[in-house]
């Protein structure tokens, strides 16, 4: 049976990657179908109920700057906001929102339902049809064949998903939802390199059985940050506190005794788990010297007492979970509502993808999210946006758009994945970005909204808000550059009094602002700017203070653009290059970098080896020309 | 790698000993054919080198290093014979009749490198070793070859990594209660690293100077004894010395070695107004020589009150007060950068030689590294970044400390191989219990 209409782009999956993929594709004008096995779970947060965090909120702001849904949904669903790294400098400052799961899901579903060009259909994809290595349609469990010029697969943990609790295991995509088994088998027949990864969740706890008086309360930050460039505090629902407690020696002892019942230690799980998000049994074994581990007790929502004890994800048997949880302070009488579990799922080596996220071997098939070996809602959403956009562009006969490493964390994410692959679930950290000082939360819109507008991703109302903000920022910057602080003038005296910085000769306000003690409120208090400019000045001063570093990075970007853009031929014989170490040769043969820049990011690479590569690339192209 | 290669390993035409090196699987066969036996591994054995049951081509020491414990990682046979080019040639020709081909330039080193006997820095040091003009430079190159330079840079690289683990953890895992920015320890670590880099720069620069040597121009007014000084330093009658001003009309060159430091001396024409076209041409060449010199010896008569060199000299200038036999003053080092000499007798020249060594940053061979210009550039950039990191740490600008440490780490990575952000994260996860 054929579905009555054909689509430009079919997006499989309604999680964070699928939603942004479908929305992006539809925003740029492609007729788009979002195919999901359960409409109720569109926008579901399967793991912890939080959006953002260090490195992650950078991605969220970029998605937002490109017209995506995640940031506004977080503002509409956020019940606890914090600014992280407040003391460590603006480049690494980040925002995190605890979100009410139901409010978040509703916010996302509303955006999806209101989006023009986007159709939602509930069924499960089990098969796909290729015509000479190009995907042309997908087939559902009900036997419906749906034609799509391009398909974006966002299968999350569902592909061949297997859930482990102690020695019990069963097939599943998420607690309570079935796995995609037929599709997994089908995809494994295609020329794609499959692997298995693992992740886990903690047991959920009924808050009415927890003694909060024994926990340390952690209220949200004031002033309360907002996530979206279009967001405001008025959007936020009621705010609540999180809590902190700790495991103890008794907890660890119970876990240690039960290790022979953990599928991670008995070898039943072959998939690799993330090192930065270890299970509690992992922590107890690997860091045996620690006598306690921190647990963040996060509310699941406003309308439920259920809690998410972040920090004790586990795949131990239920009885051990129960016993261990009850040793924790405040949890002495805690009731587990859902046991924690580990889940193992299929992913495909992302080095099999082009930077557009289209698979190299099957034309018009795009992958986004955990299927590419990543973890996290924000990483998934970022890839979804890029894959959905590029699927639509491919169908429209346009070239792919992918931000570069110096333009966006999204660029870092995609470059890392497609160059280095994923040895473990990939999560974003600010230390992955070599241009960290320029890739900030505060300037994500300045970096991406103009290009997003050109691509058709950014609607007019958002763009108008952006231009107004940018124009005011420009005015502030111009006033800073053009104002001279004359020696002994009223202004000089006011500024000196405010900042404690002496002024011994005429100086431009810009140069004065470079001094470490000068802050935005000093400039408004001096009368040069009005109070409503303070937010803009805060941002202007970041660039002023980073100026020397940013200029040096500009030079580095320019240099690397020239050198690193050198293309390495697709059939280059890396093994035949004399003077490279065996180790490097092997890595080059595996990764087959397309440019010198990509080769440079391979661990252990040296300038001498790079110059060898460039010489050989040159020689190679010379031979081909004359041949 | 199945081919066996062979070449003369000593420079052509010099020396009392000539070494023929063979590397590859056919070494035992070559030994059997040429010596009639295979020498015991790593034991110097006196032997005749002869055609099977025939004439003796040469005789000397034979050394056999079975794989993998050899320079190239393959079977190696070394024949140390007499230096005569003809004898060497006959030995090589005979070996090439066995299943052996002539080695390409640098091929032994390349094989060593390919068999993981050398890292890139060491391989480059071998290139330096081959090119070394002086014994001191060879000693410096050997130290780098033995991996000491690599080892020191690697140690430094490791220290930077260790500090970055803390700084980056404090940034990326702010909720894990890791915040080391205020720790005195971090300041101390940075200061120690900065000192280490500085020392590496000095020792590498010295090593580099030991290889490329020092270009020294002798300049001064006419007839102050520049050519005599050149002759005395060279110990030969290179320049024509007369008492007529303007005798040296062209630049004269000579090379000498001060304790192994190669010094190229250029005697410039005396600077004076002249209409003699040849002399004018000579003075133009003198100016050119002054431009490329690392150091100028500004020669004046000791009796001359005004000994200051022309202000436009931008290079290091040593003042040589010559003809002290006429003033009767004691020759020797006068402090600062002044010397008193008598070029005719050689008095005071020993002190001047020491002065040139100081200019070169001379270190004894036990102390210098065979630095490559590229390495020194990288080290200098690393040094600058570490200084900045220390400044930002005092200002408690965590993200800028991190930025400078990243730059420093990348610079060191240019020498010993880069550490990627993924490597760094791996170290962080191994060090701290990260993760909610």
In sequence order, what DSSP letters do the residues of A28-96 get, joined into one string?
A: TT--EEEEES-GGGTT---S-SEEE-TTHHHHHHHHHHTT-SHHHHHHHHEEEEEEETTTS-GGG-EEE
Strands (DSSP E) contained in A123-218 are 125-131, 134-140, 145-153, 162-165, 168-171, 194-201, 204-206, 216-218
> Is position B118 within any domain?
no
Q: Over 80: is that where the pLDDT of A138 sits?
A: yes
- Confirm if A79 and A51 have CB atoms less than 8 A apart: no
Work out the mean pLDDT of chain B and round it to a whole number. Answer: 78
pLDDT at residue A135, as a whole number: 97
Q: In what order do the strands lie in the sheet with A94-99?
A: A50-52, A94-99, A78-84
Q: How far is A509 from chain B (nearest CA, A)?
A: 22
How many CA atoms within 13 Å lie on the side-chain side of B413?
22
Average pLDDT over residues A21-34: 98
pLDDT at residue A246, as a whole number: 96
Number of compact structural domains in chain B? 3
**B106 in A contact zone (CB under 8 Å):** no
**A604 in B contact zone (CB under 8 Å):** yes
Q: What is the CATH number of the domain that holds B166?
A: 1.20.120.430
Among B58, B88, B103, the domain-final residue is: B103
The conformation of residue A180, written as its DSSP 8-state character, comes to B
Angle between helices B184-212 and B148-172 (to 10 degrees): 150
Q: Are residues B40 and B164 in the same domain?
A: no
> Is position B146 within any domain?
yes
Q: Which of A89, A420, A581 has the CB atom closest to B397's CB atom? A: A89
Q: Over 80: is that where the pLDDT of A72 sits?
A: yes
**B431 in A contact zone (CB under 8 Å):** no
Q: Are residues B252 and B341 in the same domain?
A: yes
| Residues A292, A293, A298, A304, CA torsion sign | negative
Q: Are residues B256 and B180 in the same domain?
A: no
Among B305, B327, B360, the domain-final residue is: B360
> Is position B258 within any domain?
yes
Q: In what order do the strands lie in the sheet with A216-218?
A: A216-218, A242-246, A294-299, A306-310, A204-206, A336-338
Q: Are residues B220 and B321 in the same domain?
A: yes
Tell me the β-bridge partners of A122.
A36
Question: Does A88 contact B181 at a Cβ distance shorter than 8 Å?
Answer: yes
Tell me the β-bridge partners of B217.
B266, B296
- Confirm if B318 and B337 have CB atoms less than 8 A apart: yes
Task: Give the H/E segment covering residue A347.
Answer: strand A341-348
Q: Are residues B284 and B351 in the same domain?
A: yes
Q: How far is B378 from chain A (nearest CA, A)?
A: 11
Q: Which residue has the higher pLDDT, B7 or A127?
A: A127
> Is position B435 within any domain?
no
Q: How far is B373 from chain A (nearest CA, A)?
A: 13
pTM of the predicted model as reported, rounded to 2 decimal places:
0.76
> Is position B109 within any domain?
no
Tens digit of each residue's pLDDT (9 = 90 or more) over A87-96: 888 999 999 9
Output the six-digit token pair for A472.
């005011």
pLDDT at residue A3, as a whole number: 97
Q: Are residues B203 and B219 in the same domain?
A: no
B-chain residues within 8 Å CB-CB of A89? 397-400
Q: Over 70: is that where the pLDDT of B126 sits?
A: no
Among B103, B137, B153, the domain-final residue is: B103
Query: Could you tell me what percent of chain B has a pLDDT over 70?
Result: 74
CA A122 – CA A112 distance, rounded (Å): 14
Tens digit of each residue's pLDDT (9 = 90 or more) over B252-280: 777 777 877 788 888 876 555 556 666 66
Q: Are residues B256 and B339 in the same domain?
A: yes
Phi-psi region of A336 (alpha: psi -120 to 50; beta: other; left: phi over 0): beta
Output the six-digit token pair for A611.
């110059």
> Is position B38 within any domain?
yes
In which domain, by residue range, is B96 found? 5-103
Tens digit of each residue's pLDDT (9 = 90 or more) over A574-626: 887 766 777 788 888 887 888 887 787 777 676 667 767 776 776 555 443 33
Beta-sheet pairing, B316-322 with B338-340: parallel
**B177 in A contact zone (CB under 8 Å):** yes
State residue B166 phi and psi, 5-degree precision.
-70, -50
Q: Which residue has the higher pLDDT, B241 or A449?
A: A449
pLDDT band at A458 (very low <50, low <70, confident <90, very high): very high
Question: Does B171 contact A85 at a Cβ distance shorter than 8 Å?
Answer: yes
Angstrom distances, CA of residue B308 to CA of B273, B305, B321:
19, 9, 11
Q: What is the CATH number of the domain that holds B300?
A: 3.40.50.300
Query: Could you tell me what percent of chain A has a pLDDT over 90?
Result: 74
- Confirm if A245 and A310 have CB atoms less than 8 A apart: no
Q: What is the CATH number of the domain that holds B33?
A: 3.30.1360.120
Output the six-digit token pair for A424.
């473990």
**B114 in A contact zone (CB under 8 Å):** yes
Query: In sequence order, what DSSP letters do the residues of A409-466 get, joined into one string?
Result: HHHHHHHHHHHH--SS-B---GGG-TTTTTS-STTHHHHHHHHHHHHT-S-HHHHHHH
Residue with tokens 């014989």: A573
**C-alpha torsion B325→B329→B331→B333, nearest 10:** -150
B-chain residue closest to A93, CA distance: B171
Residues 62-101 of A with CB under 8 A from B: 84-85, 87-92
pLDDT band at A33 (very low <50, low <70, confident <90, very high): very high
- Confirm if B327 and B302 have CB atoms less than 8 A apart: yes
Q: Are residues B144 and B165 in the same domain?
A: yes
Q: Which of B170, B374, B421 has the CB atom closest to A432's CB atom? A: B421
Q: Over 60: is that where the pLDDT of B246 sits?
A: no
Beta-sheet pairing, A365-367 with A294-299: unpaired
- Confirm if A469 and A445 have CB atoms less than 8 A apart: yes
B-chain residues within 8 Å CB-CB of A417? none
Q: Which of A361-370, A445-454, B199-208 has the lowest mean pLDDT?
A: B199-208
Average pLDDT over residues A147-159: 95
CA A193 – CA A187 distance, rounded (Å): 10
| Residues A161, A165, A169, A171, CA torsion sign | negative
- Confirm if A300 and A308 have CB atoms less than 8 A apart: yes
Q: Which of A387-396, A568-577, B37-46 has the lowest mean pLDDT?
A: A568-577
- Confirm if A295 and A242 have CB atoms less than 8 A apart: no
Q: Which of A438-442, A477-481, A566-570 has the lowest mean pLDDT?
A: A566-570
The three-state secondary structure class of A384 is helix
Q: Which of A173-182, A536-545, B134-143, B270-279 has the lowest mean pLDDT?
A: B134-143
Q: Over 60: is that where the pLDDT of B239 sits?
A: no
Q: Are residues B226 and B198 in the same domain?
A: no
Q: Are residues B183 and B274 in the same domain?
A: no
- Confirm if A94 and A82 have CB atoms less than 8 A apart: no
A-chain residues within 8 Å CB-CB of B414? 606-607
Q: Over 60: is that where the pLDDT of B130 sits?
A: no
pLDDT at residue B14, as a whole number: 42
Output the six-digit token pair for A78.
């956020």
Output the six-digit token pair for A536.
């803009």
Q: Are residues B393 and B319 in the same domain?
A: no
Average pLDDT over residues A127-141: 96
Average pLDDT over residues A64-89: 96
Question: Does A436 contact B113 at a Cβ distance shorter than 8 Å?
Answer: no
Question: Does A606 contact B171 at a Cβ distance shorter than 8 Å?
Answer: no
Q: Over 80: is that where the pLDDT of A50 sits?
A: yes
> Is position B270 within any domain?
yes
Q: Which of A157-161, A575-579, B282-286 has the lowest mean pLDDT?
A: B282-286
Q: Which of A278, A290, A582 has the CB atom closest to B435's CB atom? A: A278
Q: Are residues B81 and B141 in the same domain?
A: no
pLDDT at residue B350, as a whole number: 87
**Minimal CA–CA distance to A35: which of A48, A21, A45?**
A21
State residue A196 phi and psi, 5-degree precision.
-120, 140
> Is position B408 within any domain?
yes
Range A208-213, long-range pairs (CB < 8 A, 24+ positions): A208/A305, A209/A333, A209/A334, A209/A335, A210/A297, A210/A307, A210/A330, A210/A331, A210/A333, A210/A334, A211/A330, A211/A332, A211/A333, A212/A243, A212/A330, A213/A330
**B176 in A contact zone (CB under 8 Å):** yes
pLDDT at residue B434, as a whole number: 64
Q: Over 90: is that where the pLDDT of A187 sits?
A: yes
Angstrom distances, CA of residue A377 to CA of A19, A519, B90, B184:
11, 35, 75, 39
pLDDT band at B53 (very low <50, low <70, confident <90, very high): low
Tens digit of each residue's pLDDT (9 = 90 or more) over A304-323: 999 999 999 999 999 999 99
């Amino acid at each position: 049976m054929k579905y009555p209409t054909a689509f430009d782009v079919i997006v499989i999956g309604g999680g964070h990657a699928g939603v942004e993929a479908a929305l992006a594709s539809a925003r740029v004008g492609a007729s788009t179908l979002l195919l999901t096995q359960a409409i109720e779970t569109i926008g579901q947060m399967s793991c912890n109920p939080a959006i953002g965090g260090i490195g992650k909120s950078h991605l969220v702001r970029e998605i937002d700057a490109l017209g995506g849904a995640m940031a506004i949904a977080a503002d509409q669903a956020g019940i606890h906001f914090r600014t992280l790294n407040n003391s460590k400098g603006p480049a690494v400052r980040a925002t995190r929102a605890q979100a009410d799961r139901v409010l978040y899901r509703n916010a996302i579903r509303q955006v999806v339902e209101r989006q023009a060009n986007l159709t939602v259909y509930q069924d499960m994809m089990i098969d796909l049809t290729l015509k000479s290595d190009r995907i042309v349609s997908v087939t559902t469990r009900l036997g419906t064949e749906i034609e799509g010029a391009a398909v974006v697969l966002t299968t999350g943990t569902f592909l061949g998903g297997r859930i482990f609790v102690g020695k019990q295991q069963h097939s599943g995509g998420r607690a309570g939802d079935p796995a995609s088994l037929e599709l997994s088998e089908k995809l494994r027949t295609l020329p794609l390199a499959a692997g298995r990864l693992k992740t886990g969740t903690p047991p959920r706890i009924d808050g009415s059985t927890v003694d909060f008086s024994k926990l340390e309360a952690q209220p949200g930050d004031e002033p309360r940050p907002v996530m979206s460039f279009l967001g405001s505090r008025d959007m936020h629902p009621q705010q609540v506190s999180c809590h902190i407690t700790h495991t103890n020696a008794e907890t660890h002892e119970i876990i240690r005794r039960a290790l022979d019942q953990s599928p991670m230690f008995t070898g039943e799980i072959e998939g690799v788990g993330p090192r930065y998000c270890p299970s509690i049994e992992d922590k107890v074994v690997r860091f045996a010297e620690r006598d306690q581990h921190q647990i963040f007790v996060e509310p699941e929502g406003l309308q439920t007492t259920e809690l998410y004890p972040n920090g004790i994800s586990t795949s131990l048997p239920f009885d051990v979970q129960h016993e261990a949880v009850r040793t924790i302070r405040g949890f002495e009488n805690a009731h587990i509502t859902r046991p924690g579990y580990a889940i193992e799922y299929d992913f495909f080596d992302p080095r099999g993808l082009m930077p557009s996220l289209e698979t190299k071997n099957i034309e018009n098939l795009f992958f986004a999210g955990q299927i590419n070996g990543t973890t996290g809602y924000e990483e998934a959403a970022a890839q979804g946006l890029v894959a959905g956009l590029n699927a639509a562009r491919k169908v429209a006969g346009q070239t792919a758009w992918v931000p570069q490493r110096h333009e966006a964390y999204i660029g870092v994410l995609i470059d890392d994945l497609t160059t280095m692959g994923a040895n473990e679930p990939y999560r974003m950290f600010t230390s992955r970005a070599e241009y960290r000082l320029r890739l900030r939360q505060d300037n994500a819109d300045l970096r991406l909204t103009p290009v997003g507008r050109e691509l058709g991703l950014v609607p007019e109302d958002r763009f108008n808000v952006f231009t107004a903000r940018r124009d005011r920022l420009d005015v502030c910057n111009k006033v800073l550059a053009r104002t001279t602080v004359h020696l002994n003038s009223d202004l000089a005296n006011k500024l000196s009094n405010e900042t404690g910085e002496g002024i011994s000769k005429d100086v431009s306000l810009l140069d004065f602002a470079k001094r470490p003690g000068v802050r935005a409120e000093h400039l408004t208090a001096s009368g040069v700017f009005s109070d409503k400019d303070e937010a803009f000045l805060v941002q202007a001063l970041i660039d002023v203070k980073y100026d020397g570093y940013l200029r040096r990075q500009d030079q580095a970007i320019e240099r690397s653009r020239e050198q690193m853009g050198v293309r390495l031929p697709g059939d280059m014989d890396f093994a035949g290059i004399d003077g490279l170490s065996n180790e490097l040769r092997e890595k080059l043969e595996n990764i087959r970098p397309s440019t010198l820049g990509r080769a440079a990011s391979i661990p252990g690479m040296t300038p001498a080896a790079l110059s060898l590569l460039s010489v050989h690339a040159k020689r190679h192209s010379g031979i081909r020309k004359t041949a | 790698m199945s081919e066996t290669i062979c070449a003369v390993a000593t420079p052509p035409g010099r020396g009392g000993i000539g070494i023929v090196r063979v590397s590859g699987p056919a070494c035992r066969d070559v030994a059997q054919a040429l010596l009639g036996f295979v020498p015991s591994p790593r034991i110097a054995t006196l032997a005749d080198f002869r055609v099977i049951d025939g004439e003796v081509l040469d005789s000397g020491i034979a050394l056999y290093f079975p794989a993998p414990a050899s320079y190239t990682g393959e079977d190696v046979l070394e024949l140390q014979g007499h230096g005569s080019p003809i004898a060497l040639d006959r030995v090589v020709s005979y070996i090439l009749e066995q299943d052996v081909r002539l080695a390409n330039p640098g091929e032994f080193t390349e094989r060593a490198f390919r068999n993981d006997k050398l890292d890139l820095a060491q391989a480059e040091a071998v290139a330096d070793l081959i090119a070394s003009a002086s014994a001191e430079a060879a000693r410096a190159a050997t130290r780098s070859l033995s991996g000491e330079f690599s080892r020191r840079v690697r140690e430094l690289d490791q220290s930077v990594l260790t500090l970055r683990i803390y700084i980056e953890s404090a940034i990326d895992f702010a909720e894990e209660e890791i915040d080391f920015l205020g720790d005195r320890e971090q300041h101390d670590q940075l200061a120690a690293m900065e000192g280490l880099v500085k020392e590496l720069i000095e020792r590498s620069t010295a090593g580099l100077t030991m290889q490329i040597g020092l270009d020294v121009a002798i300049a001064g007014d006419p007839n102050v004894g520049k050519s005599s000084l050149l002759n005395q330093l060279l110990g030969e009658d290179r320049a024509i010395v007369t008492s007529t001003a303007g005798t040296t009309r062209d630049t004269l060159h000579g090379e000498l070695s001060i304790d192994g430091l190669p010094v190229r001396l250029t005697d410039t024409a005396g600077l004076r107004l002249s209409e003699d076209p040849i002399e004018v041409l000579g003075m133009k060449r003198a100016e050119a020589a002054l431009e490329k010199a690392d150091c100028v010896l500004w020669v004046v008569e000791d009796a001359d009150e005004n000994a200051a060199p022309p202000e436009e000299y931008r290079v290091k200038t040593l003042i040589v007060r010559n003809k002290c036999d006429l003033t009767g003053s004691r020759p020797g080092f006068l402090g600062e950068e002044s010397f008193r000499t008598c070029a005719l007798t050689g008095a005071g020249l020993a002190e001047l030689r020491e002065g040139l060594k100081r200019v070169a940053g001379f270190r004894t061979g036990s102390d210098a590294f065979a630095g490559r210009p590229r390495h020194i550039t990288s080290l200098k950039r690393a040094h600058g970044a570490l200084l900045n990191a220390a400044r930002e740490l005092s200002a408690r600008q965590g993200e800028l400390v991190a930025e400078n440490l990243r730059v420093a780490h990348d610079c060191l990575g240019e020498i010993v191989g880069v550490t990627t952000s993924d490597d760094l994260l791996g170290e962080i996860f191994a060090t701290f219990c990260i993760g909610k």
